[in-house]
Every structure is written in structure tokens, then in C-alpha cells.
Structure 1
Amino acid sequence: MQFSVAPWRVLDEVHLKLCVEMPQLHQKFGERILQLAKEASMTGEPIIRHMDYAFPDNGYKKINDQFS
């Protein structure tokens, strides 16, 4: 995240809380994200995969709202 204005000066409490939580979440999963990115760069497979891609021939081909 990049801020051009200090978030605590312009955001309400709900949105400020999100600005605190998201970097913590990124830090929590940072190593896993890097691992997935390295694997994707070596295999060419996407990090985020459609259900039918991850589990072929299991009836997921018709799902069209997985990322909605």
C-alpha cells in the first residue's frame, strides 16, 4: 500500500482498521506468497487457479462465479 495522505487523518475508523490489518495479513502470508510466485515462475502455472484447472474432471467446468 502507498499513502499520499496519512490514513488516520482522512479515514473513518472502519477503513483505518483495514489499513492496519492488510499489511499485517500481507506479513503473515508473505513467505507463502513468495513461494507460490517462485513456483509459478518455474512451472508457468497461475497462482490463483480456477477450480476446474486445479481439480480437472470433477464437474467444476461450469462454475462461472468463483471469483465474483
Structure 2
Amino acid sequence: MPPSTIVLLTGGADSTTLLHVVNARAPVVPVFVDHGQRAAHREHQAAERAGGPESPGFYLHDAQGSDEGS
């Protein structure tokens, strides 16, 4: 089995497309980073819908102070 690939997932069209293309070829670890952007809550929700917590290894990095991996 090939090694996992980390995909920075914003919930937008580009990163969602990349997630699905890469996931067709190798295991993926999607990562969402909350760095205090104004739309962080909406972006996090979109990232979850795109392939977040139901994906093995989804990781939320909160650059504001806490991390949660699943």
C-alpha cells in the first residue's frame, strides 16, 4: 500500500477536487487549518462535507491554540 498523502483541505473547489483525485490513487490524510481567518467556521464545515471527519485521519489544526485529530 502506498504511503498516505497529506492534502491541505480548505473546503473550496480546488482542494476538494485535489482530495478526490489523490484519494483515488493513494490513502489521504486531509488537514484543515484554522489560522483565524474570518470565514474559518464556514470553511471548516465545507472541509468536513468534502471529506473531513468521516475520512480516516482527518486533522484539524487550530493555529489559534488547540489541535484535534481524529
TM-score (norm 2): 0.23
In our comparison, the structure showing a higher alpha carbon Rg is 1
Higher RCO structure (Cα 8 Å, ≥6 apart): 2
Q: Which one has a larger percent strand, Structure 1 or Structure 2?
A: 2
**More helix by proportion, 1 or 2?**
1
Q: TM-score w.r.t. structure 1 length?
A: 0.24
